[in-house]
Structure 1
Amino acid sequence: MKLQCDVDVVNRMLPTLGMKSRGKGARAVLSIGKQLDKTSQRSTVYMMICTAKDRAGSKYKLQDNIEKFFTSFVEKGKATVRLKEPAIDICLSKADANSLKNFLSAARLADRGSVMSSLLLSTLTPVRARDVEQPKKKLTIISKKDYPLTSSFPYSLEQLQVSYCKLSRVDMRMLTLKALRVLDLSNNHIKKLPATIGDLGCLSELILHNNHLEAFSEALCLSTLQRTLQLLDLSQNRLQSLPAQLCQLRELVNLKLDDNRLLCLPFHIGRLTKLRFLSVAHNRLAELPGDFRKLRLENLDLFGNPFIQTNPLNNTMQLTFPVPLQELASRAVADLRIPYGPHLIPAHLCQDLDGAKTCDCGCCCISFYIKTVVSMNLHKVSHTVVLVDDMGGTHAPVTQHFCSLSCYSVFLDNSLQRGIR
C-alpha cells in the first residue's frame, strides 16, 4: 500500500519547548508494510515515509499507536494522522482523494491489528529519486519525436503545449488531466474537437491556432467551460460559422478568430459581458450583428473583412399587417422576460425566442421586423481599434432591426437630421 503526496511531520512537543514547526510539506512516498521485529521475532506493521532528503525513509509503528485521524478535508486530498509514540502529527496534502481514502483505511486496520491478508502491503525499501520529485505542472512538446507514445502525461499537469506534432485529433490521454488550466494544441492538423474537452473542469485557456477545424461544437459551449474558459484561440482554421451557444461562454475575456472563413458572428455576441479582446481579422464578414453594440472592449481587430457599404434607406421588409398573434405573444414573452423552455412551449418557439431582436424603442421582435444596416464607429465599443481597411477607417456596418413602421420612420427622420445618407 503506497501513497504519493506532500507530507509535513509535526512534533507536538515543540510548542512546549518554545519552538515552531517549519510548516512546509515535502513530496514523499508513504508505504504501509510489515517488518520483522528481531527481538520478539514477530512481524509488525509500519508506516514508512520517504522523501528526497531521506530516501531510506523513517518508519513509524501503526498497531495500537494511532491516536486520531483528521479527515474533514479528505475529498480535497488532505488528512492528518496523529500518532501516540512518538508524539507527532503526520499531515498529508496534495494527494489523490481516492488513493488517500484507501491508504487511511489500511492504516486504520493496521492500528486495530486486523488481519492484513486482504491488503496489498508494500515492501519497506528505499525509493527511487524520481518517485519523490515534485509533481510536474508544465510540459511543452514542440517536436513529433518528443511526443510520448508509450508513457502517460503526468497527472499533475496544469499547462500542456503540444505543437508541430501533426496531430490529426486530440489525444484522449490529455482529457484525463483534471488539473489542466492551459491546453495549447496550436500548429497541428486537428479537424474535430471531442466534446469531452468540456470535462476539463479547470481549463481557462484553450489554444487551437493553426489547425484544420471546420466547426466548434455546441456541446463544448454548454459544458463546464461556461464557468472556466477565459481565452479561446481559434485563429487560422477553416471555420465558416460559430454556434449561437458560443455566447454561453460568459467568462471569456480574449477571443481570437483571425484567418478563418467566417461569414457572420453569433447573433447574441453582446452577452459576452467580460470580453475585452476580440480579433476577427481576415474573415468574410459583410456586417456585424446588432448585439455587437453591447460589447465593451479594450482592443478590437476587424481588419481585412469585405464589409458592405451602408445605406439606411436600403432595408429588408419582413413585416405583415396585422402582426400575427403568435408574433405578438412571443414579443410579450421576450419583453416581460417570462421564463420559457421546451418543457413549457414547443422547441421551435424556444429557438425563435432565443433569436429575439431588440428595436431602438427597446421592444423585441421575433420573426416580423424591418432590417437595415447602419455604420457604427467602432470606438463606441472598444478603446483601441485596429483600422478596418487600408484607408484608415474605424467604421463598420451593423445590422439594426425595427419592430414597426413607426420605429423605422423615427430612425429615418433622425438619420436625415444628422446628415446621414
Structure 2
Amino acid sequence: MKLQCDVEVVNRMLPTFGLKNKGKSSRAVLSIGKHVDRSSQSSSLYLLICTAKDRSGSKYKLKENIEKFFTWFVEEGKATVRLKEPAIDICLSKADTSSLKNFLSAARLAHRGSDTDSLPLSTLGPARARDVEKPKKKLSILSKKDYPLTASFPYSLEQLQVSYCRLSRVDMRMLTLRSLRRLDLSNNHIKKLPSTIGDLSCLAELILHNNHLESFSDALCVSTLQTSLQHLDLSQNQLTVLPARFCQLRHLVNLKLDDNKLTRLPFHIGRLSKLRFLSAAHNQLSVLPAGFRNLCLENLDLFGNPFTQANGLEHTIRLTFPLTLQELTSRAVVDLRIPHGPHLVPYQVCDELDFCKACDCGRSCVNSFIQTAVSMNLHLVSHTVVLVDNMGGTEAPVQKHFCSLMCYCEFMDSCVQRDLR
C-alpha cells in the first residue's frame, strides 16, 4: 500500500521546549508494510515516509499506535494521522482522494492489528527519485511523435497544451485532470467537444484556436464552466451559431470568435457582465443583438463583417391583434419577475421567458413584437474599437424591439424630429 502526496511531520512536543515547527511540507511516498525485527524474529506493520532529502525514509509503528485520524477535508485530498509514540502529527495534502481514503482504511486496520492478511502491503525500501519529485504542473506537447499513447498524463497538471498533433477528438484522459486550469488544444482537427469538459471544475482557460469545430455544446453552457471559465478562444473554426445559453458563461473575461461563419451573436450577450475583450472579426454578422448595448468592454474587434445599413423604416412586424393570452401572461411573468421553472410551466415556455426582448418603454415582449435596427457607435460599449471596415467606421447596426405599435410610432417620431434639427 503506497500513497504519493505532500507530507509535513509536526512534532507535538516542540512547543513545550519553546521551539516552533518549520511548517513546510515536502513531496513524499508513504508505504505500509511489514518490518522484521531480527533480534526477536517478530514482524510488525510500519509506516515508511520517504522524501527527496531522505529517500531511505523514516519508519513509524502502526499497531495500537494511532491516537486519532483527522479526515474533515479528505475530499480535498487532505488528512492528518496522529501517532502516540513518537508524539507527532503526519499531515497529508495534495493526495488523490480515492487513494487517500484507501490508505487511511489500511492504516486503521494496521492500527487494530486485525485482518492484516488482506492488506496489499508494500516493501519498506527506499523510494525512487521520480516518485518523490514535485508534481508536474505544466506540460506542452507540440508534435504528434511526442504525444503519449500508453502513458497517462500527470494527474497534478494545471496547464496542458497539446498542439499540432492532428487530434480529431479530445482525449478522455485529459478529462480526468481535476486540477487543470488551462487547456490548449489549438491547431488540431477537433470537430466536436465532449460535454464532459464541463466536469473540469477548475478550468479557467480553454483554447481551441484553429480546429474544425462546427458547434459549441449547449451542455457546456450549463456545466461548472459557468463559474470557472474566464478565457475562451474559438477562433478559426467552422461555427455558424452559438447556443442560446452561451451567455450563462457569466465569468468570461476574454472571448475570441474570429474567422468563423457566425451569422449572429448570442441574443443575451449583454448578460456577460465581466466580459472585457471581445473579438469576432471576419464572420458573417449582419446585425448585432439588442443586448449588445449592455456590454462594457476594454477592446472590441468586429472588422470584416458584412453589416447592413441600419434603417429604422425597415422593420419586421410580429405583432398579433389582440395579443394572445400566452403572450400577455408571459409578459406579466417577466415584468413582475415572477419565479418560473420547468416544474411550474412547460420547458418550451421557460425558454421563451428566458429569452424575451426588452422594449424602450421598459416593458417586455416575448413572441409578439416589432423589430428594426439602429446604428450605434461602438465606442459606447468599448474603450478601444478596431475599425469595422476599411472606410474607418466605428458604427454597426444593433437590433431594437418594440412591444406595441404605439412604442414603435413614438420611436419613429423621435427619429424624424432628430433629423429635422
Q: TM-score category by the smaller chain?
A: over 0.9
Q: Which residue of 2 aligns with 1:388?
A: 388
Q: Which residue of structure 2 aligns with residue 42 of structure 1?
A: 42
Matched residue, 1:104: 104
Alignment of 1:202-213 (within 5 A): 202-213=202-213
Distance in 1 separating the partners of 2:349 and 2:112: 65
Compared with structure 1, are the counterparts of its residues 263 and 132 closer, same or farther at alpha carbon in structure 2 (3 Å cutoff)?
Answer: same
Question: C-alpha separation between the residues in 2 aligned to 1:208 and 1:420?
Answer: 50
Gaps of 5+ in 2: none
Q: Which runs of 5+ in 1 are unaligned?
A: none
Superposition map of 1:78-89 within 5 A: 78-89=78-89
Shift of 1:230: 0.9
- In structure 1, the partner of 2:335 is 335
Aligned residue type for 2:351: Q
Q: Counterpart in 2 of 1:235?
A: 235
CA-to-aligned-CA distance 1:70-104 (integer Å, 9 cap, x gap)? 22222222222222222222211111222222212
Q: Secondary structure at the match of 2:167?
A: coil
Q: Who is 1:172 aligned against?
A: 172
The secondary structure found in structure 2 opposite 1:95 is: coil
- Count of residues in Structure 1 that have an aligned counterpart in Structure 2: 421
Structure-2 separation of matches of 1:48 and 1:378: 65
Cα distance in 2 for residues equivalent to 1:124 and 1:98: 22
Q: How does 1:256-405 map to 2 (within 5 A)?
A: 256-405=256-405
> SS at 1:117's partner residue?
helix
Residues 1:52 and 1:359: Cα distance change in structure 2 (over 3 Å)? same
Partner SS state of residue 333, structure 1? helix
Residues 210/114 of structure 1: CA separation in 2 closer, same or farther (3 Å cut)? same
| Cα deviations by residue, 1:86-133 (Å, 9 ceiling, x for unpaired) | 222221111122222221222222222223101111111111100111
Cα offset, 1:156, TM superposition? 0.8
Distance in 1 of aligned mates of 2:271 and 2:371: 21
Amino acid corresponding to residue 92 of structure 2 in structure 1: L
How far 1:296 moved relative to its partner?
Answer: 1.1
The separation in 2 between residues aligned to 1:85 and 1:345, in whole angstroms, is: 64
Name the counterpart of 1:134.
Answer: 134
Q: Which deviates further from its counterpart, 197-206 or 92-101?
A: 92-101
Q: Secondary structure at the match of 1:135?
A: coil
Percent of aligned pairs with the same residue?
74
Q: Partners of 1:221 and 1:299 in 2: how far apart?
A: 24
User: Which amino acid is the alignment partner of residue 101 of structure 1?
Assistant: K
Amino acid at match of 2:312: P
Normalised to the residue count of structure 1, the TM-score between the two structures is: 0.97
Residue 163 of structure 2 corresponds to residue 153 of structure 1: no
Aligned-pair CA distance for 1:351: 2.8
Cα separation, partners in 2 of 1:119 and 1:295, compared to 1, 3 Å: same
- Structure 1 SS opposite 2:29: strand
In the TM superposition, what whole-angstrom CA distance separates every residue of 1:170-216 from its partner, at most 9, and x where no partner exists?
00110111111111100000001111111111111111000000000
Pairwise CA RMSD: 1.5
Partner residue in 1 for 2:74: 74
Q: In 2, Cα distance between the equivalents of 1:170 and 1:159? A: 15
Say if 1:323 and 1:65 are closer, same or farther in 2 by CA, change over 3 A: closer
The farther-off stretch of 189-198 and 96-105 is 96-105
Q: Secondary structure at the match of 2:101?
A: helix
How far 1:248 sits from its partner (Å)?
A: 1.0
User: What corresponds to 2:195 in structure 1?
Assistant: 195
User: So what's the TM-score if we normalise by structure 2?
Assistant: 0.97
